[in-house]
């Protein structure tokens, strides 16, 4: 592909935040400055373009050295983000209170044309990458950068944010072991991850959990009770159980916390259910800890920072090399570009035969099956 000369590009972050977003933004901005390209940041997904009145200081701002100084190690995103506001299905409230979805993608394309911004780097999860692909199909030059703590995106070995989330969850499990042991309790720890069990699995194995319940293996609590009894026989008077928010019982459903128009259903509450049932089944005192959004905060680990910086710089190189409608991805040890269409509308679940599951089984971890 021929190198092209770019003058202006834009960058935005969409969906739930993940540690490493700021590192990507810094890499994008510095890679642009080095090439003489102006880089504009769009606030809160596409809202900076679609609702400029909400941003007195500008919904789209030129980013320079001062904006990205010292942000590599910061959690969150300096641009803000949203998991509402899909420009292709933009929720608009009518006078009678009902909400209708409108396609406002034309306004995005118009904005880029009018301001002579040649391309967009869109950092986001499955939802944002689908939007990116659809905008690319409508003619916008676009590079996607995969992000999610859930690690559930296809075509990339890993997404940044995941390592930070797993490291924090593991540290929490380490802390919970001692209090569970002191009080002879069953400690149930619910972690995020949506419909994939990556965070629960990796933190559960590293954090020496006795049972790990993930969406990919519907559970029977009788199996967990058997595990707890076998521990008791060896003199263990406590247990630590990790439950993914998307875990569900055999013949049961995921636990949904809320359903709202214009966004995905929110999961949560399965930890509470599991704890209650385990307490009834074993007669043992049980406590629940929901790690929730704590997993999304804090500074990115070294691994996540590096992936994020590499993805950001690679996205600018991809644009320069003339690519569009592709996603930057990790194929260890290299960073590559894959067609966006191959990464969207599918989910990377934990394969049941993956060696982390096999390792867990060899270590005696119960998966509820």
CA 110, CA 113: separation in Å to the nearest integer?
5
How far, rounded to the nearest angstrom, does the alpha carbon of residue 301 sit from its chain's CA centroid?
15
The H or E element spanning position 338 is strand 334-339
Span 332-361, contacts to ligand F6P by CB under 6 A: none
- With CB under 6 A as the contact rule, which of the stretches 46-54, 102-110, 189-197, 361-369 interacts with ligand F6P? 189-197
187 forms part of the interface with ligand F6P (CB under 6 A):
no
Span 307-326, contacts to ligand F6P by CB under 6 A: none
The dihedral through the CA atoms of 162, 167, 171, 173 has a sign that is positive
Instruction: Give the nearest distance from C-beta 269 to ligand F6P in angstroms.
Output: 12
17, 44, 150, 210: which is the annotated catalytic residue? 150
3-class SS shares of the chain: helix, strand, coil, % to 5: 40, 20, 40
Instruction: Give the nearest distance from C-beta 227 to ligand F6P in angstroms.
Output: 26
- With CB under 6 A as the contact rule, which of the stretches 30-38, 95-103, 191-199, 220-228 interacts with ligand F6P? 191-199
Token representation of residue 108: 């995005």
Span 72-131, contacts to ligand F6P by CB under 6 A: 83, 125
Q: Please, are residues 274 and 241 in contact by the beta-carbon 8 Å criterion?
A: yes
Q: Please, are residues 353 and 35 in contact by the beta-carbon 8 Å criterion?
A: no
CA 173, CA 280: separation in Å to the nearest integer?
23
- With CB under 6 A as the contact rule, which of the stretches 85-93, 105-113, 186-194, 232-240 interacts with ligand F6P? 186-194
The residue (of 218 and 292) whose beta carbon lies closer to ligand F6P is 292
Q: Please, are residues 40 and 8 in contact by the beta-carbon 8 Å criterion?
A: yes
Span 3-22, contacts to ligand F6P by CB under 6 A: 16
Q: How far apart are the first and last CA of the chain?
A: 51
For residue 150, indicate whether it is catalytic.
yes
CA 288, CA 268: separation in Å to the nearest integer?
12
Environment class of residue 228 by beta-carbon count within 10 Å: exposed (0-12), middle (13-18) or buried (19+)? buried
Instruction: Give the nearest distance from C-beta 193 to ligand F6P in angstroms.
Output: 5
The interface mask with ligand F6P, positions 40-79, x = CB under 6 A, is ----------------------------------------
Look at the block and give the residue holding tokens 């880029």: 112
The residue (of 155 and 255) whose beta carbon lies closer to ligand F6P is 255
Choose, by CB under 6 A, the member of 192, 278, 307, 327 that binds ligand F6P: 192
Choose, by CB under 6 A, the member of 19, 193, 197, 368 that binds ligand F6P: 193
194 forms part of the interface with ligand F6P (CB under 6 A):
yes
CA 55, CA 52: separation in Å to the nearest integer?
5
- With CB under 6 A as the contact rule, which of the stretches 94-102, 142-150, 204-212, 312-320 interacts with ligand F6P? 142-150
CA 52, CA 29: separation in Å to the nearest integer?
22
Q: Please, are residues 35 and 118 in contact by the beta-carbon 8 Å criterion?
A: no
The interface mask with ligand F6P, positions 248-267, x = CB under 6 A, is ------------------xx
The interface mask with ligand F6P, positions 213-252, x = CB under 6 A, is --------------------------------x-------
Instruction: Give the nearest distance from C-beta 198 to ligand F6P in angstroms.
Output: 10
Residue 125, phi-psi category: left (phi > 0), alpha (psi -120 to 50), beta (remainder): beta
Instruction: Give the nearest distance from C-beta 338 to ligand F6P in angstroms.
Output: 20
Choose, by CB under 6 A, the member of 44, 134, 150, 216 that binds ligand F6P: 150
Binding residues for ligand F6P, total number by CB under 6 A: 13
The residue (of 296 and 305) whose beta carbon lies closer to ligand F6P is 296
**DSSP letter string, 180-224:** HHHHT-EEEEEE--TT--HHHHHHHHHTT-SEEE-TTS-B-HHHH
Token representation of residue 99: 């909400």
Site residues, ligand F6P (CB under 6 A): 16, 83, 125, 148-150, 192-194, 245, 266-267, 296
Q: Could you list the active site residues?
A: 150
């Amino acid at each position: 592909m021929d190198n092209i000369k770019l003058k202006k590009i834009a960058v935005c972050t969409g969906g739930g935040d993940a540690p490493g977003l700021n590192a990507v933004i810094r890499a994008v901005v510095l890679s642009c400055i080095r090439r003489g390209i102006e880089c504009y940041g769009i606030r809160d997904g596409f809202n900076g373009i679609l609702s400029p009145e909400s941003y007195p200081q500008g919904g789209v701002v030129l980013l320079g050295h001062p904006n990205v100084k010292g942000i590599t190690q910061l959690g969150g995103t300096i641009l803000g983000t949203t998991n509402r506001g899909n420009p292709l299905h933009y929720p608009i409230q009518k006078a009678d209170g009902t909400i209708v979805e409108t396609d406002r993608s034309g306004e995005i394309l118009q904005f880029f044309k009018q301001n002579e911004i040649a391309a967009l780097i869109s950092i986001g999860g499955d939802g944002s990458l689908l939007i990116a692909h659809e905008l690319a199909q409508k003619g916008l030059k676009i590079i996607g950068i995969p992000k999610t703590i859930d690690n559930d995106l296809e075509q990339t070995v890993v997404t940044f944010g995941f390592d930070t989330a797993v490291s924090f969850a593991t540290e929490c499990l380490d802390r919970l072991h001692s209090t569970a042991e002191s009080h002879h309790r069953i400690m149930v720890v619910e972690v995020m991850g949506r419909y994939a069990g990556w965070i629960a699995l990796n933190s559960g194995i590293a954090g020496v959990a006795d049972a790990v319940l993930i969406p990919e293996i519907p559970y029977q609590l009788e199996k967990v009770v058997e595990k707890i009894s076998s521990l008791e026989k060896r003199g263990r008077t406590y247990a630590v159980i990790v439950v993914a928010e998307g875990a569900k019982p055999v013949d049961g459903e995921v636990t949904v916390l809320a359903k709202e128009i214009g966004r995905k259903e929110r999961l949560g509450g399965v930890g509470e259910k599991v704890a209650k049932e385990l307490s009834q089944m074993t007669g043992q005192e049980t406590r629940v800890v929901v790690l929730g959004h704590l997993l999304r905060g804090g500074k990115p680990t070294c691994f996540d920072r590096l992936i994020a910086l590499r993805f950001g710089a690679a996205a600018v190189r991809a644009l320069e090399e003339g690519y569009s409608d592709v996603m930057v991805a990790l194929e260890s040890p290299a960073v590559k570009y894959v067609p966006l269409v191959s990464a969207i509308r599918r989910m990377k679940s934990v394969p049941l035969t993956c060696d982390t599951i096999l390792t867990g089984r060899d270590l005696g971890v119960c998966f509820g099956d």
